[in-house]
Structure 1
């Protein structure tokens, strides 16, 4: 009995101990906490920031947490610029900057890392992290600030290179690296810091190759008409980016040899035509687009018939090529609202560049839209005091309103006596832009840098609110510049 009791007692002790240790071994999930949103904090740097008589080739930054670099070669800006890009490495809580060039005497250097320095865990960046030193006995402290806009749209663009040159030659922007370099932020603004007093040419370039030189007509350029005299801080040095139509002075190589052969035709090609219609309906006030599957050599418009209404009345039209491929043509006619039409394309009316003709006749039936399918816009324009800061005081220029959808100008017209009215506006959402038409030709004109005379692009002001047009609605927006 004693022995049985001892055995039972021992079993109970074992069970109790197992239960105790099992409870102790339960994993309790950690309590939730707020996400770390703080950027790394700089603890120390050697040599110190704002060091004078700087001679070191390396700089070591110490932070309060583990850090990493994000695309530092792309984001770091050194001013004045260096021939050789510094090496930047991250390890644990330190970042090391190795300077490969000999620095100029009596010069203030700014190493701006942008937002390239981040913590390892949450990747919170240090915004505009920079390090400034001088190889002389004082720090240069002058600043230049301004804003860049894309001239054709009036919109801002980020990450555009803004450059200062001490060389006054026009070709400096194409042949030399800039002396000072900055980049635009998301709102289009830029800022040069720690600049030496002097006279500078200022430019901006939107490019892809990062050579910071204006060498291709694919690049966009902005320039100030006159050099800037930097004796004190300068603000509102604003410029407009544009692409030149003609080739720039730094000539590009042209391809040599024979032109490429035309694309191979299929074994049994067929020349086909189709009309571009919106749900089987033709837009009022617009040309009918006729599209072919191959470029045309000849097109006999005398063979084409356009019939109107249920009476099949033949009506006159004009037809012209619409693009450089010779595959798209525009048929112009004053379409009657709601009327049915038939476009008869007979056999052999068109021949492509390979000598293939249309093999059979085709009839395209469609209907013109009605007036109620469109909206009406009655726009008023006022020019406020702020616009006079960027526009000349005289009133010789005319204003042109542009309605833009999907980056394409759908409607535009001259504003007369502060008013512009347009009917037959397709339903949809439009951006409103106002063009300052300096030469009064009704369209936007780009600028000229390499040419005589130099010319700034015409200014475009985007309106802050988009316009939503609905069927059979009349809108009366007031736009203030």
Structure 2
């Protein structure tokens, strides 16, 4: 067969290859992006009856949104104000929210159904802060009352607190009656009660633990206005101080023996005259040493009688008042492996000026040999360092330390002996004091606009550095402050007991007022900070 001899023009060949490249390029696979991410919250398109309807008589409300929706945590988000006897039944049907009202509504009343963040789209969970309002009368009430709820002691914002308005004025209303208007605080403590009728109200805020809109549990926190409030215009920027009342009921939280020879007892509040009585044992001599904490609500019993019993029943009293009884299982000596007394000290590494050396034991101890504590300053033995007990388990070695100086501390064997007869082993600690220039100073002048005594507390982070009890204008100098951020807190000490006191609703007592300095104070090394704090209560 004769071969075909086909000749194409050069132009046609070039065109063929160009078309092939175009087709290959068009056939490349490109990942699908799905378009721009939906960041928009659902929007109301229409509602029946309309949002803001007056002369409302319906039992069903239908709200249509511009996209498919779902409900999230509705029971904790929905607030109806005023409250209804029965919570409305609410369901979602595609893009529609159907609300069925099952309570009899009051005449000439504006209702608001606040959904919080309960309504979101079904794809990206974009939520909408939606509210539906209607009135059974001829107009919509439009007044509002808003502000922020904070903890009365540390002024931190309080979330999920119910803010309540009552149109009844008996002192018992928060204990027995449901409020007229309700709002819920957000994570910043912010609240807003809207669509309020003009009038006079009692104001409360509660941490409603059992969700019944009543102040009826001893551990529920409360805030209240001492006087009724008159609402005849929008009221904003109200700061509400929440507190927990001091419980009148004294009870035992725990009594346990987790360490050999040591019973820990924790109470819910301080005692004045604590008495511990054994019920199933009889002791002819002292059987414990008591070590109470600073606040008086917990204590340690260091047992002086060992291995004589494996359980102990005790009665705990505050004076003549029996608080509780407890059974404590007692650890035996076979569970105890210590052979020496453990001793520790704060004299390590870089040592702060303006302090003494603390020597800490794990059990109450006595100083057997004072001469066995040796302190060397630049290798020279110090002769005038004095060691004294400051707690049952702590001693203090007092000395006027020099700056930027090396020290050696030796505690020789047998210097301390605990109540079990155990003695310490050798402890050697090397440390060097800081320089004066490592610290900053605060020179504070306080000018109050009140006559009561007050307390100034200086904190570094959450650690209390110094507490001062003052009256009228005062000057304070804070030395030896390490670099960092500090804050100052003032407590108006209304009853002059040198501590902060909580409030009590029935007694009409507000918590003692707390004021923080306007900003954190930045301390730098070798730097003085002059601060004039003019209090504007």
TM-score, with structure 2 as normaliser: 0.69
Residues 59, 256 of structure 1: alpha-carbon distance in 2 compared, 3 angstrom cutoff: farther
The answer for the alignment partner of 2:119 in structure 1 is 117
Please say if residues 443 and 475 of structure 2, whose CA atoms lie closer than 8 Å, have aligned partners that are also in contact.
yes
Residues 289, 478 of structure 1: alpha-carbon distance in 2 compared, 3 angstrom cutoff: same
Pair 1:258 & 2:326 matched: yes
The answer for the alignment partner of 2:164 in structure 1 is 163
The answer for the alignment partner of 1:267 in structure 2 is 335
Structure 2: gaps of 5 or more residues: 7-16, 254-267, 269-322
Aligned counterpart for 2:489 among listed residues 421, 433, 446: 433
Secondary structure at 1:73 match in 2: helix
1:232-243 equivalent positions in 2, closer than 5 A: 233-235=234-236, 237-243=238-244
The answer for the alignment partner of 1:344 in structure 2 is 411
Distance 1:101 1:198 in 2: 24
The answer for the alignment partner of 1:78 in structure 2 is 80
Greater gyration radius: 2
Residues 359, 475 of structure 1: alpha-carbon distance in 2 compared, 3 angstrom cutoff: same
Distance 2:211 2:417 in 1: 49
User: C-alpha deviations, 1:9-29, integer Å up to 9, x for none?
Assistant: xxxxxx999988766554445
The answer for the alignment partner of 2:293 in structure 1 is none
Pair 1:373 & 2:442 matched: no
The answer for the alignment partner of 1:388 in structure 2 is none
User: C-alpha deviations, 1:172-191, integer Å up to 9, x for none?
Assistant: 43444433221234554432
Of Structure 1 and Structure 2, the greater strand share is in 2
Structure 1: gaps of 5 or more residues: 7-14, 384-392
Distance 1:68 1:42 in 2: 14
The answer for the alignment partner of 1:358 in structure 2 is 422
User: C-alpha deviations, 1:418-450, integer Å up to 9, x for none?
Assistant: 53211011222212333334445554x122215
Cα distance, 1:77 vs structure 2: 1.5
The answer for the alignment partner of 1:476 in structure 2 is 530
1:78-477 equivalent positions in 2, closer than 5 A: 78-127=80-129, 129-206=130-207, 210-216=211-217, 218-230=219-231, 233-235=234-236, 237-247=238-248, 258-261=326-329, 267-270=335-338, 272-275=341-344, 277=346, 279-286=348-355, 288=357, 290-293=359-362, 296=363, 298-301=364-367, 306-309=373-376, 310-313=380-383, 315-321=385-391, 329=394, 331=396, 333=398, 335-338=400-403, 340=407, 342=409, 344=411, 347=414, 349-351=416-418, 356-365=420-429, 367=431, 369-370=433-434, 371-381=436-446, 395-413=450-468, 417=473, 419-440=475-496, 442-443=498-499, 445-450=500-505, 452=507, 454-477=508-531
User: C-alpha deviations, 1:239-259, integer Å up to 9, x for none?
Assistant: 21223333489xx9x997634
Please say if residues 456 and 490 of structure 2, whose CA atoms lie closer than 8 Å, have aligned partners that are also in contact.
yes
Distance 1:347 1:467 in 2: 47
User: C-alpha deviations, 1:423-480, integer Å up to 9, x for none?
Assistant: 011222212333334445554x12221564x322222222343222233322224445
Q: Which has the higher contact order (CA 8 A, sep 6+)?
A: 1
Residues 290, 278 of structure 1: alpha-carbon distance in 2 compared, 3 angstrom cutoff: closer
Distance 1:2 1:463 in 2: 106
Secondary structure at 1:457 match in 2: coil
The answer for the alignment partner of 1:12 in structure 2 is none
The worse-fitting range, judged by mean Cα deviation, of 283-292 and 368-377 is 283-292
Cα distance, 1:137 vs structure 2: 4.2
Residues 18, 241 of structure 1: alpha-carbon distance in 2 compared, 3 angstrom cutoff: same
Distance 2:416 2:52 in 1: 79
Cα distance, 1:44 vs structure 2: 0.9
Please say if residues 77 and 113 of structure 1, whose CA atoms lie closer than 8 Å, have aligned partners that are also in contact.
yes
Cα distance, 1:317 vs structure 2: 4.1
The answer for the alignment partner of 1:44 in structure 2 is 46
Residues 179, 346 of structure 1: alpha-carbon distance in 2 compared, 3 angstrom cutoff: farther
Cα distance, 1:64 vs structure 2: 1.0
Distance 1:84 1:345 in 2: 76
Please say if residues 307 and 314 of structure 1, whose CA atoms lie closer than 8 Å, have aligned partners that are also in contact.
no
Cα distance, 1:337 vs structure 2: 3.5
